[in-house]
Amino acid sequence: MAIYLDNAATSWPKHPAVLAAMQDYLSTAGGNPGRSGHSMSVEAARIVFAAREGLGRLFNAASPDRVTFAKNATEALNMIIFGLLGAGGHVVTTGIEHNAVMRPLRRLESLGAALTVVPCDRTGMVDPDDVKRVVTKNTRLIIATHASNVTGAIMPVAALGRIARECGVPFAVDAAQTAGCVPIDMQADNIDLLAFTGHKGLGGPQGTGGLALSPAVELPPLLYGGTGSVSEAEYQPDFLPDRLESGTLNAVGIAGLGAAVAELAKTGVAMLAAHKQGLVAALVKGAASIPGITVYGPADAADNAGVVSLNFDGLVCSEVGLALDRAFGILTRTGLHCAPAAHRTIGTFPQGTVRLSVSRFTTREEIGRVVSALGQIAEMAR
């Protein structure tokens, strides 16, 4: 049986309740939510709203209608960045960001927006005081990942949120690696915009995600079109969530996501986070004890969202990933992980790293087998 450690890319396996909810949707609901008044459409709309409510509770959003669906975190991040900076201005981000943040920002920079990238330390952590020092009267947005997809380092979002609130600047968080892995409280942490994906820590299917907004911010749509509401008007509705949800939603995917969130609520994100911290601690301790292996990221597993990156002396990371897969049945991801800024920060650009990312279904026994495999590869390399 393979050991799946690529959960930072997409989580697997999915909880049986997720599969059942998607099957049930296609078998018994299947209508287009919000587009008709018949019973199947009404049931589809009920399922979508239930998922919206569950996500709102999970993130402590202001209200369910301020949780909007998109196909992934990347789309949500584009909604934030182009919505708040389309007319220019200054934006502050960190040196550990994923390309889902950096590429839209670089595009706007090429069109005249001002961009400040605050350096992080070698673990991938930013100093909030460094962020505060670069905020100006022209700053329109502070945006940061909640946790690095390369080192797993959990950012001090509460401190960053306080700074943003004190400066009167909207604060956006990329929660692609933390939604479902780390407790998130939008109101307590002054998060104005939270981009999330459904297929990673939340445990839902691919093609799901979205954006939660505080009452302090409004965004123009990234897409315009049919919403199923105010159909007599040729202008976009001005209320949420409809304003940001043009076109038919991935309702079957949202049904699966809603079921995944319901299962998370039964266990509690804090308990799952503790489970992952134990796995990370065992993996880091085991890997770091092997001569010839360099482990990147926070020393304390409590500061890690479930991602461990490492390299072997004398071996290219892709060779290690291939050996782990073919010789040991351990599935990982190697390379730059769509985050060249992060790899420049930790000194692994352009080669990248071997990335191992755990989930709620990963066991201590599996981690033991992984450490043993790493040791055997290191011995062969020597």
Domain endpoint, select from 248, 267, 286: 267
Percent of the chain with pLDDT over 90: 93
Q: What is the CATH number of the domain that holds 209?
A: 3.40.640.10
The amino acid at 198: G
What local confidence, expressed as pLDDT, does residue 237 receive? Answer: 94
C-alpha–C-alpha distance, residues 164 and 189, integer Å: 10
Residues 121 and 239 in one domain: yes
Please report which helix (H) or strand (E) contains residue 45, including its range.
Answer: helix 39-59
- pTM for the whole structure: 0.96
pLDDT at 36 > cutoff 90:
no
Report residue 35's pLDDT band, with 50, 70 and 90 as the boundaries.
confident
Residue 278: partners with Cβ closer than 8 Å, 6 or more residues away = 301, 364
Q: How many domains does the chain have?
A: 2
What local confidence, expressed as pLDDT, does residue 55 receive? Answer: 98
Report residue 37's pLDDT band, with 50, 70 and 90 as the boundaries.
confident
C-alpha–C-alpha distance, residues 164 and 60, integer Å: 19
Domain endpoint, select from 267, 289, 310: 267
Which among 158, 257, 255 is positioned nearest to 200, based on CA atoms? Answer: 257
Percent of the chain with pLDDT over 70: 100
What average pLDDT is seen over the chain? Answer: 96
What local confidence, expressed as pLDDT, does residue 379 receive? Answer: 93
pLDDT tens column, 225-275: 999 899 999 999 999 999 999 999 999 999 999 999 999 999 999 999 999
Residues 262 and 339 in one domain: no
Q: Are 108 and 85 in contact (CB under 8 A)?
A: yes
Residues 328 and 344 in one domain: yes
Residue 343 corresponds to which tokens in the numbers above? 């790899």
pLDDT at 75 > cutoff 80:
yes
Q: Could you give the C-alpha distances from 267 to 76, 143, 187, in angstroms and in order?
A: 27, 30, 22
What is the mean predicted confidence (pLDDT) over 42-46? 90
Residues 53 and 200 in one domain: yes
**Lowest-pLDDT range of 33-37, 175-179, 207-211:** 33-37
In terms of DSSP bridges, do strands 333-335 and 193-197 run parallel, antiparallel, or are they unpaired? unpaired
C-alpha–C-alpha distance, residues 210 and 53, integer Å: 13
Residues 7 and 22 in one domain: no
Residues 130 and 233 in one domain: yes
Residues 33 and 82 in one domain: yes
Domain endpoint, select from 244, 267, 290: 267
What is the mean predicted confidence (pLDDT) over 148-155? 98
pLDDT at 34 > cutoff 80:
no
Residues 221 and 292 in one domain: no
Residues 232 and 292 in one domain: no
Which among 174, 88, 189, 91 is positioned nearest to 134, based on CA atoms? Answer: 91
Report residue 288's pLDDT band, with 50, 70 and 90 as the boundaries.
very high
Residues 172 and 276 in one domain: no
Per-residue DSSP letters for 161-188? HHHHHHHT--EEEE-TTTTTTS---TTT
Residue-range definition of the domain harbouring residue 255: 16-267
Residues 350 and 231 in one domain: no
What is the mean predicted confidence (pLDDT) over 148-173? 98
pLDDT at 140 > cutoff 90:
yes
Residues 299 and 173 in one domain: no
Q: What is the CATH number of the domain that holds 324?
A: 3.90.1150.10
